[in-house]
Amino acid sequence: MRAGGREDGVVDEVIPSSERVRQAMRAQRTRDTRPETTLRRALHRRGLRYRVHQRPLPDLRRTVDVVFRPARVAVEVRGCFWHACEAHGTWPKANADWWARKLEGNRRRDEALAAALAEASWELVVVWEHDDPESAADLIALTVANRRPVHTSFRSQPPSRTAAHTENACGGLTEVSD
């Protein structure tokens, strides 16, 4: 085990470089961030219903941002800084060693989550904070639709519309009296 960290790479002790940094880290939201809520609104507009901040697997000690249980789709909205985005992630200069361990630990934890979900036949969709939420919602909607279980009904054909029934204004069937 390393000093200041656990064997899984997650850093236990936070040693901020200044009081200002400490206050900023304490104020950082871990859930319901702006990119996350924007994505959830876009998913809801598409008629999708989901669970928020749930464990997709009962033995997993990690929650994901959006869960579609029947389709077995988990969605993670990741911040470029905290998850070390290769396109936009930055590495702080102050307290650099600690931050390197912290951000690499986050990245390893993300990889472990992806592996655990894949092993359990779940699909993980990663949305970065710089991704367009509407495009991401389209991709998620398509993924959920393709993975939804198919329900078969006892009736293989819709009911026939006989002379005893007529279609009403709402598209339903109304019985016609003779």
Tell me the mean pLDDT in the region 32-47.
95
Q: What is the CATH number of domain 19-175?
A: 3.40.960.10
Averaged pLDDT score across all residues of the chain: 81
> 60 in helix, strand or coil?
coil
Dihedral sign, Cα of residue 17, residue 21, residue 23, residue 27: negative
Name the β-bridge partners of 91: none
Q: What pLDDT digit, counting tens, does each position of 152-175 carry?
A: 655 555 554 444 444 444 444 444
Look at residue 10 in the predicted model and tell me its pLDDT: 52
Give CA torsion, residues 138, 141, 145, 149, to 10 deg.
Answer: 160
% the chain with pLDDT above 90:
52
Please tell me the predicted confidence (pLDDT) of residue 178: 47
∠ CA 66-98-116, nearest 5°, is 35
User: For the segment 76-127, what is each residue's pLDDT rounded down to a tens digit?
Assistant: 999 998 898 888 888 888 888 888 888 999 999 999 999 999 999 999 999 9
| pLDDT score for 167 | 47
Burial of 152 (0-12, 13-18, 19+ CB in 10 A): exposed
pLDDT attached to residue 113: 97
Take residue 165 and report the two structure tokens written for it.
Answer: 């029934």
Structural tokens at position 50: 């989901």
Asked if residues 92 and 99 have their Cβ atoms less than 8 Å apart, the reply is yes
Domain ranges in the chain are 19-175
Give the predicted TM-score (pTM) of the model: 0.72
Is the confidence at residue 59, as pLDDT, over 70?
Answer: yes
Q: Which residues of 89-113 are buried (b: 16+ CB within 10 A; e: fewer)?
A: beeeeeeeebbebbbebbbeebeeb
**Residues whose CB falls within 8 Å of the CB of residue 94, separated by 6 or more in sequence, listed in order:** 17, 18, 21
